[in-house]
Homo-oligomer: A and B are copies of this chain.
Amino acid sequence: MARRYRSVPFWVKGGYHRGMPVNARQRLLTTAEELFYAEGVRAVGVERILSASGVGRASFYRHFAAKDDLVVAVLRGRDERWRAWLADRVAAHGGGPLAVFDALAERFVRQDFRGCAFINTMVEAADPDSPAHRVAAQHKSAVTGYVETLLSTAGVAEPASLAAEFTLLMDGAIVTALRERSAAPATRARAVAAVLLASADRSPG
């Protein structure tokens, strides 16, 4: 059993000059997230993460009992930041439900775009009961819930079913962008969503 990180240690205050980012745990999370997203969880060994982050092998297992725990921690962090990013970009694009596709379009044109980390996780972690797969599925539920609030705010009478369709379109756009590598799938999905939104019932008022 590896010991766990407890509180803020000494070197976050003073000038710690050994590694760049704050502490070992944070460096591991940041480095692993990059590598996992770019090449896949299974394709990236612990050694790669250690050399890329400059963290010692023992330090790794002091913070994470196993590689799988790092994977889950990375996914949880990405889930939070991704949804915060989405809310930010939606607001920047007017705050309407269709803005989620404008946000996706921004991601698709990045040259480091490699699809959705959570879809990729559900593909790689085949077992639906595995912790990583569960976290990925939870992320999708959370996104669907967020889209539902957007639709509700926009005055859609029964936002739940339309939110499910929006999420399906988002996932379809992401997977399509994986091979088209352009913003086109986002605008395509947006156009479809616009048709759905236009024909949706509006709540009174």
Contacts and interface: CB of A to CB of B under 8 A. Distances in A.
A5 B72 CA distance: 45
A188 B196 CA distance: 12
Interface in A99-130: 114-115, 119-120, 122-124, 126, 128
Given A175-B119, A176-B168, A199 B195 contact: yes
Identical chains in the assembly:
2
A167 to B, nearest CB: 7
Contacts of A124: 40, 42, 123-124
Interface stretch (A13-21, A58-66, A149-157, A177-185): A177-185
B179 A168 contact: no
A180 to B, nearest CB: 9
Interface of A: 38-40, 42-43, 114-115, 119-120, 122-124, 126, 128, 136-137, 140, 161, 164-165, 167-176, 178-179, 181, 185, 188-189, 191-192, 195-196, 199
Given A114-B126, A171-B175, 5 more contacts: A39-B126, A42-B43, A124-B124, A128-B181, A168-B185
